[in-house]
Structure 1
Amino acid sequence: MRIFSTGSEKREFTQEEADLLISMLPGFGGTSTTFASAKSIENSDVFTVINLLASDVASLDIDMTKNEIVQSNEVANLFNINPNGLYSGGTLKFIITANALLNGESFCEIIRGKNNKVIALYHLRNSQVVIKQDAETNYKLVYDVSDDKGKIRRIKPADILHFKFFTLDGIRGVSPLKSLKDDLSMQKDSKRFLANFFKNDTQTGGILKMKHGRLSKEARDKIKREWQESNAGVDNAHKVLVIDETFEYEPIEVDTEVLKLINASTFSTETIGKVYRIPRHKLGLETSNMSLAQANLDYLTSTLNSYLKVITNELNYKLSTDYKSKFQFDTSPFKTIDVETHTKLTLEKVDKGIISLDEARKRLGEEPRNDELGNKHFISLNYTTLDQIEEYQMLKAKGGGKSGQNGTKGTDDE
């Protein structure tokens, strides 16, 4: 196998290949634990945080609004219902969110049909995508996407949705897990310590002494292995231990306060939640003093909204047709207090003309009318503008404010 190449040929390495090559260099010690994104969800705290955020994003619909009024839009329908023939819109939103939270970035290919119309959306695995700056296009970004057979397609940025929750250069996303390497290692080692403690029937170790004779390393290893097989484990708990007079067993005592400290420690859980900006009450670390409505609103504004904005900003950048139209998530489920209050607030917005009849029906779970009447905004006749009130007062002061029952102005002779 040739390691070094000569001549003008060039080879582009993915990040995974580069890391593997670096690890093969002489003197490379590496780290005690390597956390790839797929392995990280084996940690229960990481899984909880990723599942919480990705599920919440997936549960919200994406709307297309024009002048703050919701419009029917086929791209929004793709994201919400059927982006392709493989999975639903909720699954697509879950995938892109979870990948961006774990890997730092996620990719979605835009499939276009006739007249540049978007007809499908497909998630791309991070290992499939290599980002380059193409010299032929004045160093603009291009995306080289490889399939399972190794064939590479070059896709222009307009046909790739690239979601990055944290970035230092605007080109590549950075995984939050990089800041959690030591915390995850500490948590994993602590859990392994507890697992071994209980696996060995709460005996963390002991000394088996042979009173007479000297044993070789092979003999010691054999006795140790046979002792472990015969006496360790839950199945051997509280059974009679039989040894002859040539051996003496001395258990090593452990401070149970250390075990209590390890078992009760929530430091790593708090750190993982802090990195992803998850409130403590969402992780079950404390009881919130806020009401359910306040807690949901706090979670929406301080945590979830920042992730939603990243997604909609990319959609608006790549798929919005004009500056008046924009994609946005419908976050009303997190603003709903209870059914009675939600219904009351919705009807008040209809009465004041803030939302249309169809918007109100949608919020109340009813099928919209989808006609001219449903898109209209209603307002009471008792309301008027300040300038009209001033005009009415001026007319009244001049004696022209009298009117008959038929609505016409009266005269002084009447």
Structure 2
Amino acid sequence: MSIKSKIGEWLGFKSTPLVISGPDELARIFGAEFVTGTGQSVTPLRAMQLAIVFSCVRVLSESMGMLPCRLLKQDGKYKQPAINHKLYELLSIAPNDYMTAQEFWELLMVCLCLRGNFYAYKVCALGEVVELLPLDPSSVTPKLKDDWTVEYQVNFKNGGIKTLSQDEIWHVRLFTLDGLTGLNPVAYARKCIGLGLDTEEHGAKLFKNGAVTSGVLETEESLTDVAFNRLKAEFEENYTGLANTYKPMILEQGLKWKPTALNLEDSQFLETREYQKSEICGLFRVPPHLVAAMDKMTLNNIEHMGMSFVNYSLVPYMTRIESRIRVGLLSEKDRKNHYAKFNAGALLRGDLKTRYESYGKGIQWGWLSPNDCRELEDMNPREGGDIYLTPMNMTTKPEDDSDAKKAS
């Protein structure tokens, strides 16, 4: 049995963790969990059943997953990819044997959006991290000890509760109130998400029986119990539901069909649903047009919202993860001249016009060479393409150079 297999067996990675130590579970046990008007509790998995929550989490996770993450080494003023470091392969190719780097970053973002925390067990060899194994956030409880070190209690199904040190767990968290545990967005926005779930439930019931909400049956005659029950059964079977919409009715005993419109309460829920969409988009800081909410979108503000999505939605996550990589995955010696960096330029992969315009400006102003641009496009370098141009109107005057030499 390999060392990794022994570690996995000891930690119980092959079994599903028993979710009993998370804040959501504790809230449910003590009755402090928020429930919707239909009596359903608002948990991260239940929140994902709301389409707008699913869309926001998907946009954030897939956007982060498509960004390449590289480990760089800085030597004075120069920096280059640290391809010889073991962590380089983990961050850019595969952090473990069953996940790609893209899948790993997507999972990390899902955990941050729905739980506020992400945990991974660090498999180390010769002082370097060689594998990262994700843990269920609801099965991990961090604790700050008296000596200001952190320990993590991990609850496994077969292995019970095990206490692991800070050197064994990689912890990425959202902003906190205590500096240790990230705030859970779903827990703090349960009423908002619960209202969205309730409006969906109301809409499903509203349109389930189309005939009941669109009209009433009237008659001046009195019906016996037998006739009433027969009419009710026949009407529900043949004329209710969307499948029977616009089906002709056969009425008897002076019955008349009187169409009615939706009342104000039933109509108002449509506006409530739209408001909940914008509120939840604000919770996750996702521009509405990315989740198909195009009501107030124009060509001008879509472009600016796309830029704000990178600057104010993704960059805070990127810098947070980059900092935790440097502090939590690198040794004290390596963190002095090594650091991780996400390439946000990958978001322009499908925008050929913007990329080429940026390359043109970089070559014109001399901070990019043609071969630099070809490398970014995964093209081979060409002969003479390593020249950096300098605009004539940006050069220094010869007399300035001679004065500088005399002064030195």
Q: TM-score range by the shorter chain?
A: 0.7 to 0.9
Q: Aligned residue for 2:52?
A: 45
Equivalent position of 2:136 in the other structure: 125
Name the counterpart of 2:341: 328
In the TM superposition, 1:300-319 aligns within 5 A as 300-319=310-329
In the other structure, the counterpart of 1:266 is 274
SS in 2 for 1:153: strand
The one-letter amino acid of 1:72's match is A
Greater CA drift, 52-61 or 183-192: 183-192
Q: CA deviation at 1:55?
A: 0.7
User: What's the CA shift string for 1:280-308, capped at 9, x where partnerless?
Assistant: 33343333444876554332112211111
- 1:399: which partner in 2? none
Q: How does 1:12-411 map to 2 (within 5 A)?
A: 13-23=21-31, 31-32=36-37, 33-65=40-72, 66=74, 67=77, 69-73=79-83, 74-113=86-125, 115-134=126-145, 138=147, 140-204=149-213, 211=222, 228-229=236-237, 231-237=239-245, 238-242=247-251, 253-255=260-262, 261-263=268-270, 265-283=273-291, 284-285=293-294, 286-290=296-300, 294-320=304-330, 321-334=334-347, 337-348=353-364, 352=366, 354=367, 360-366=373-379, 389-390=399-400, 392=402
| 1:96 CA drift (Å) | 0.5
**Normalised TM-score (structure 2):** 0.73
Query: In the TM superposition, what whole-angstrom CA distance separates every residue of 1:305-327 from its partner, at most 9, and x where no partner exists?
Result: 11111111111211242334321
Q: After superposition, what is the alpha-carbon deviation per residue over 1:132-179, rounded to whole angstroms, capped at 9, x for unaligned?
A: 2345xx252111223332433332213322222232112111222234
Higher relative contact order (CA 8 A, sep 6+): 2
Q: Is the 8 A contact 1:79 1:92 kept in 2?
A: no
Query: C-alpha root-mean-square deviation of aligned residues, in Å?
Result: 4.2
Give 1:141's aligned amino acid.
Answer: V
Residues of 1 paired with 2:176 and 2:252: CA distance? 63
- 8 Å CA contact 2:177–2:183 kept in 1: the answer is yes
**Correspondence for 1:410:** none
- The one-character-per-residue Cα deviations of 1:355-374 (angstroms, maximum 9, x if unpaired) are 688854432223689xxxx9
How far apart are the structure 2 equivalents of 1:163 and 1:130?
13
2:44 partner amino acid: S
CA contact (8 A) 1:96 1:108 kept: no
Give, in whole Å, the separation in 2 of the partners of 1:302 and 1:50. 15
CA 1:262–1:395 in 2, change beyond 3 Å: closer, same or farther?
Answer: closer
Is the partner of 2:313 in helix, strand or coil? helix
Distance in 2 separating the partners of 1:232 and 1:163: 52
Runs of 4+ in 1 over 4 A off after TM superposition: 28-31, 205-210, 212-215, 220-227, 241-245, 248-252, 256-261, 291-295, 354-361, 376-389, 393-396
Tell me the matched-pair count.
367
TM-score, normalised to structure 1's length?
0.72
Report sequence identity in percent.
16
Give structure 1 stretches of 5+ with no counterpart: 1-11, 397-414
The answer to whether the 8 A contact 1:108-1:122 is kept is yes
Gaps of at least 5 residues in structure 2 are 1-19
